[in-house]
Copies of this chain bind each other. A is one copy, B any other.
Amino acid sequence: MPADSPSVPSGSATTHPADWLVAAVDRAAAPVCVGLDPVFERLPDSRGGGRGAGGPSDKVDAMTGFCRRVVDAVADVVPCIKIQSACFERYGAAGVDGLARTLTHARSAGLVVIDDAKRGDIGISAEHYAAGILGPESSGGLAADWITASAYLGVDGLEPFLKHGGAFALVRTSNPGGDAVQGCRLEDGRTVADMVAGLIAETGRDYRGQSGYSALGAVVGATKPDDAARLRQRMPEQIFLIPGYGAQGGGIDDVMPCFHDNGRGAIVTASRSVIYAFEPGDANWPVAVRDAARKMADEVGQAVAGQS
């Protein structure tokens, strides 16, 4: 079974990013997240722009309109949205403008918002990214609550994010190629992912909220169930963001070891299996998207409730 959940200090809820996320998950009774990975060529035909539209701005407008409708469809089903920054950044400044509009809309819909930007630089540059991306007053207008970030440059590349919001550090990613680096074994028997997990746990201790969880979380792929229980032990105070559910092959049994016994401590995220859960030409596609989100929320929510 997973490790014990962190002890919860007494006191009222705050705007600490971990507390807000935990509270949102509790309200929804579903520790799940919908990932927005909009690709122009995959948008439903019923969208205004449709295929074959002109320049980057047209494509971004179509993507942003699609994301807005997905957000509206799932906002009372899931507590949290993750946006793949690369999908928008593909279109440069126009794309980042669309990203900002999408993030702001999701936030105004009451969702906790994760910018899946996987930034990772030295401290002074991480501070620029943090200021531009995180928080309602972000200088870049993105207003995200959490960001995903690389830990390869160590702690000084992560801490700047924690002054502005929450950060999920990449510990064990869901892709096949991640094994070549993250699975290497150190002389003390730990894997590289274990070692990064230890660094995250140690650094995150100074950033705990009232919920007991830290503003420094961890990305742990749903496709790595063998590692999940061990990483849960090593990072008792981290919220796990779990990509790879659905389209990438991770199932409910794979993600359960990421949760604490009380059903907290992790967020399962699915992208393509939810946002493209419709037949070509389906004019009522938002209903299909909502149904797919509901199905995932029920599946994970019930599994977690049955555990606690």
Contact = CB atoms under 8 A, between A and B. Distances in A.
Contact of A56 (B95, B129, B139): B139
Given A121-B118, A181-B195, A184-B186, A89 B175 contact: no
B142 A92 contact: yes
A180 to B, nearest CB: 5
Contacts of A184: 186, 192, 195
B152 A180 contact: no
Contact of A93 (B93, B119, B126): B93
B187 A185 contact: yes
Interface string A176-216: 11111110111101001001100100000000000000000
B175 A123 contact: yes
A128 interface: yes
Interface string A89-103: 111111111001000
B187 A132 contact: no
Interface in A106-124: 118-124
A288 interface: no
Given A126-B86, A132-B91, A192-B192, A199 B185 contact: no
A132 B97 CA distance: 14
A1 B153 CA distance: 28
A84 interface: yes
Interface string A129-144: 1011100001111100
Contact of A157 (B128, B151, B177): B177
A86 B125 contact: yes
Interface residues of A, number: 62
B152 A179 contact: no
Given A91-B140, A92-B100, A141-B92, A178 B153 contact: yes
A262 B138 CA distance: 48
A92 B133 CA distance: 8
A174 interface: yes
A122 B184 CA distance: 18
A90 B128 contact: yes
A155 interface: yes
B156 A177 contact: yes
Contacts of A37: 124-125
A126 to B, nearest CB: 7
A182 B125 contact: no
Given A86-B119, A91-B132, A186-B187, 9 more contacts: A56-B139, A86-B121, A86-B125, A90-B132, A91-B140, A93-B97, A153-B175, A157-B177, A181-B199
14 contacts: A84-B125, A89-B140, A90-B128, A90-B139, A92-B139, A118-B125, A122-B175, A151-B181, A153-B170, A153-B178, A154-B181, A181-B199, A187-B189, A192-B192
Which 5 residue pairs of A and B lie closest in terms of their CB atoms, listed nearest first? A154-B177, A92-B140, A156-B177, A86-B128, A93-B97
